Homo-oligomer: A and B are copies of this chain.
Amino acid sequence: MSRHWHHEADVVVVGSGGAALAAASAAVAEGVSVIVLDAAAQPGGTTRRSGGALWIPNNSSMQGLGLTDPRQDALSLMAHLAHPSIYDPASPRFGLSQLAFDLLAAFYDHGSEVIDALTAAGAVDLIILPPLGFGTSPISDPDYHAELPENLAPIGRVLTAISPPGSFEWPGVFLMDGLIAHVLGQGVPILSGHRVVDVVTTGSSGEASGVVAMHEGREVNVRARRGVVFGTGGFAHDPSKVLSFVRGPLFGTGSVPTGSGVFLEVAARLGAALGNLSNGFYFQVALEAALEAAGAISRPDAYVFLPYGDSMIIVDKRGRRIVNEKAMYHERTQSHFVYTNDQYPNLVQIMIWDDPVMQEPTFWPWRGGVPFPGATSPFVITGATLEELSTAIAARLSALQGQRGISAAVGPDVVLSPDFAANLTDTITRFDGFATTGVDLDFHRGETPLEPVWQGPSRGAPNRTMTPFSPVGPYYALLLGAGVLDTCGGPVIGVNGEVLRPDGTAIPGLYGAGNCIASPTGQGYFGAGGTIGPAVVFGYLAGRAAAQRSIGRGPH
């Protein structure tokens, strides 16, 4: 078949987030021609909406400071977090399959090298994420999972882009604007508004030889002489996929709305094995902000990464605590996924805080839905007493009945129990006792290295994550649901980002990285930048491998 090619390049990169542009940069570094296609008008993908951090074990910046990150322990930590149900430190490969282990090893072995190459090329300019909180290290705050015995490098793995002084944008903007400028500077066209809908294959091997994109209603064919690299993000904006694939019900996503998850279907049709479909990178959302946006959230106060406040708790619809409120967002959010007695009892949770938290004047950027002093929020519920607050929460839930997010709705089960106010009073009394002793016997709040540091301002002692509630109101509440930065399942890749068939062979010329493929991170979120670090590293490896392919001999 003779196909008219509107554009052609050695390597065609689909998407323009961190994985995609790392691939483009790697391919350019190999001296081949590259074209980038992206569905959105603004390049940068979901990475440009992010905190711009990259979790890179044993990176050069750490090494430069004399910080060590032994390979075996780092792999053990990653294996634990990626595949906790089968993790076994005493087994070969920690209990993982050969491929799952090899992918983590490739990430460890090539992570620093990739960042160094991108830095040398001028594509990125990264530093170790400086201390943000109330910790003791002058280098950085502790890793998310610093408490695990396998974690021998709790300081230094997190790199970030350097924001201009005084900027209030998230660092992801600067990370991606830098990568975009670099790629454009290398003569790589970024064709915005080009939604790739299919891969063209040739020959009996099914080699990927190009893509079909939709641009302004027309089909645009783009030939790839050496390979196609997808970095197109997950399927979080496809409610039917989220409902039928992901581990728990979700109200919103922070991923770029042009993401459609098309790579899953395209790759499956080409014979790819699929993996990791049940997983995502989770965080809590301000429920009403997610509902307002029909799941496609963007306003900053929708993101509840770190529930704010010392005299603050999160309770269920019966008024009982159900989770360590200071646990990192990915793990904490999974408390919404409990299914029992034919319902999701924790589908909606309620964050409760007192007036001293509300009025706390110390600046702290992560108030996650709690307005800054003097500001207001339509999503904050107020009551002069706990009883009045409870009544107001019940009314708000009632007003939201029937509204829906991505794969969760405010259904008939989402109502306050009649004993909510009474239980809430008891719960606060018990919490106040924990705050006084400093020991949370129920959920161990504040016991990891990071939790007290990222607590933000506090009046609490001996445990700075907990202060007894004020005996007088007003009190405040915010409704919380589960959200996903993006899903991270799709076609299975090998150690160079090559898309694999069920028999382990590669589909020639087809590569992927980031949230559109079965993430090597499994069900884990290794630390700050645990999404973008692996995305950039495997994106780079994929772009390099695609560029190094000899040109296919099939008919075009």
Contact = CB atoms under 8 A, between A and B. Distances in A.
A95 B414 CA distance: 15
Contacts of A87: 409, 411-412
A265 interface: yes
A408 B268 contact: no
Interface in A74-102: 80-81, 83-91, 95, 97
A334 B339 contact: yes
Interface string A323-367: 110010001001101111111100100000000000000000000
Interface residues of A, number: 65
Contacts of A83: 243
A413 to B, nearest CB: 8
B88 A409 contact: yes
B243 A86 contact: yes
Interface stretch (A28-36, A169-177, A208-216, A269-277): A269-277
Interface string A263-304: 001001111011111110000000000000000000000000
A244 B412 contact: no
Interface string A232-258: 000000001001111111000000000
A245 to B, nearest CB: 6
Contacts of A269: 268-271
A518 interface: yes
Interface stretch (A399-407, A460-468, A547-555): A399-407
A277 B275 contact: no
A342 B84 contact: yes
A489 interface: yes
Contact of A240 (B85, B97, B407, B412): B97
A181 interface: no
A405 B335 CA distance: 25
B90 A401 contact: yes
A169 B169 CA distance: 68
A145 interface: yes
| A275, A339, A522 pick with most chain B CB within 10 angstroms | A339
A502 interface: yes
A88 B277 contact: no
| A340, A342, A413 pick with most chain B CB within 10 angstroms | A342
| A84, A95, A273, A275 pick with most chain B CB within 10 angstroms | A84
A244 B347 CA distance: 23
Contacts of A243: 83, 85-86
A411 B341 contact: no
A88 B278 contact: no
A148 interface: yes
A347 B84 CA distance: 10
Contact of A88 (B246, B341, B412): B412
A327 B97 CA distance: 35
Nearest to A262: B502
Contact of A278 (B246, B341, B344): B246
A339 B80 CA distance: 13
Contact of A402 (B88, B148, B271, B413): B88
Nearest to A87: B411
Contact of A84 (B276, B344, B444): B344
Can you list the 5 inter-chain pairs with the closest CB atoms, starting with the nearest? A85-B249, A268-B268, A244-B275, A86-B409, A85-B408
Given A85-B409, A331-B341, A334-B339, 5 more contacts: A84-B339, A84-B342, A244-B518, A245-B245, A331-B342
